[in-house]
């Protein structure tokens, strides 16, 4: 039993399971807005399973491909895919099982979800390749998590609405923006290994500027989401709070690069939760 629990913990560390908090709120935001309230326990559990299996697939596939890179980076050399705790075969098996699980879950949701399942997996899996030849990898990561709101509205209404696209684009810029800041930690390693991250190509100062621009677009598209969805005052408040929190995130990083972890995990984690809570309140109030 102890060995099983240890392996589960290793796989959890491999995919950084606790970071699922970044994607879960926005799929449920889309589902609440699409249903104009509670969408039912069935879709609730299917939504969790879809988000978790998709993210597990993307993270595990990335770790599988990045074994060589992670072993050369002091920040990542102790990850389970590098230090021998998990074999390449077990990681690949885990990746394929989660891909299959995502497709099966999509089949239980509806026909459009099933049709989109494989294309979604191809998109979220492509991030692992992009950073080897293009600094647009940060945007691809944003696209991967930005698919969550579209998946949410598809699950509820089997359609793709304008407001869900606006919400998704906002998530895309949000993720790309904070990934730019997070990647500042690896600027020297990326240069050494010839990886095409924005910091290694454009430098730290420009990277921080690009992140600010990305987060400005985040606020803009979330505002367009609220307008096009016909949401009320609490939804507008969610956008305002998000803008304040993103500004605080940049304040932390500008003040001290060592605050990147706090900016990345704490601020962004709470942002999604607060946004979700305010959307629920807005739905109840209206």
pLDDT in tens, 36-88: 999 999 999 999 999 999 999 999 999 998 888 888 888 877 888 888 888 99
- For residues 217-230, average pLDDT: 98
In the predicted model, is pLDDT for residue 1 greater than 90?
Answer: no
- For residues 208 and 254, the answer to whether their CB atoms sit within 8 Å is yes
| pLDDT, position 32 | 97
Residue 51: which of 20, 77, 29, 78 has the closest Cα?
Answer: 20
| pLDDT, position 175 | 94
Number of Cβ within 10 Å of residue 183's Cβ equals 23
Residue 35: which of 127, 115, 203, 152 has the closest Cα?
Answer: 152
∠ CA(98), CA(100), CA(106), 5° rounding?
100
What is the CB-side half-sphere exposure of residue 5 using CA atoms within 13 A?
Answer: 2
| pLDDT, position 2 | 66
pLDDT in tens, 3-22: 777 777 878 778 777 667 66
In the predicted model, is pLDDT for residue 262 greater than 70?
Answer: no
Give the integer Cα–Cα distance in Å for 169 and 172: 5
Q: Per CATH, the architecture of 10-285 is what?
A: Orthogonal Bundle (1.10)
| pLDDT, position 69 | 85
| pLDDT, position 207 | 92
| pLDDT, position 259 | 61
Give the integer Cα–Cα distance in Å for 44 and 31: 9
Give the integer Cα–Cα distance in Å for 215 and 246: 7
- For residues 191-217, average pLDDT: 90
Q: Which has more pLDDT, 107 or 65?
A: 107
Q: Which has more pLDDT, 258 or 237?
A: 237
Number of Cβ within 10 Å of residue 81's Cβ equals 24
Domain extent listing, the chain: 10-285
Q: Residue 80 is encoded by which pair of tokens?
A: 């389970």
Distance of CA 135 to the CA centre of its chain: 18
By CB atoms closer than 10 A (0-12, 13-18, 19+), residue 155 is: buried
pLDDT in tens, 146-174: 999 999 999 999 999 999 999 999 999 99
| pLDDT, position 258 | 61
**pTM for the full model?**
0.92
| pLDDT, position 83 | 84
Least confident range of 56-60, 107-111, 130-134, 173-177? 130-134
Name every residue whose Cβ is closer than 8 Å to that of residue 221 and which is 6 or more positions away in sequence. 166, 167, 169, 170, 173
In the predicted model, is pLDDT for residue 261 greater than 80?
Answer: no
| pLDDT, position 146 | 93
Return mean pLDDT, the chain: 89
Q: Percent of the chain having pLDDT more than 90?
A: 59
Residue 175: which of 26, 15, 17 has the closest Cα?
Answer: 26
């Amino acid at each position: 039993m102890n060995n099983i629990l240890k392996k589960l913990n290793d796989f959890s560390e491999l995919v950084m399971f606790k970071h699922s908090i970044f994607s879960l709120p926005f799929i449920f935001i889309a589902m609440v807005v699409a249903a104009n309230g509670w969408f039912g326990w069935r879709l609730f559990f299917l939504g969790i399973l879809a988000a978790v299996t998709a993210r597990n697939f993307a993270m595990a596939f990335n770790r599988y491909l990045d074994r060589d890179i992670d072993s050369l980076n002091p920040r990542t050399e102790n990850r389970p895919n590098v230090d021998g705790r998990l074999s390449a075969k077990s990681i690949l098996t885990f990746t394929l099982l989660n891909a299959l699980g995502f497709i099966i879950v999509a089949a239980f949701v509806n026909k459009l979800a099933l049709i989109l399942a494989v294309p979604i997996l191809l998109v979220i899996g492509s991030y692992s390749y992009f950073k080897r030849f293009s600094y647009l990898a940060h945007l691809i990561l944003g696209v991967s998590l930005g698919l969550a709101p579209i998946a949410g509205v598809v699950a509820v209404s089997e359609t793709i609405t304008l407001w869900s696209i606006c919400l998704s684009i906002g998530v895309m810029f949000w993720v790309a923006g904070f990934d730019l800041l997070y990647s500042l930690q690896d600027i020297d390693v990326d240069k050494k290994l010839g990886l095409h991250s924005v910091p290694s190509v454009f430098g730290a100062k420009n990277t921080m500027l690009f992140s600010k621009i990305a987060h400005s677009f985040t606020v803009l598209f979330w505002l367009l989401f609220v307008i096009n969805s016909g949401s009320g005052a609490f939804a507008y408040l969610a956008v305002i709070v998000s803008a304040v929190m993103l500004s605080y995130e940049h304040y932390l990083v500008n003040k001290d690069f060592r605050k990147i972890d706090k900016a990345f995990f704490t601020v962004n984690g709470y942002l999604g939760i607060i946004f979700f809570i305010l959307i629920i309140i807005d739905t109840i109030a209206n």
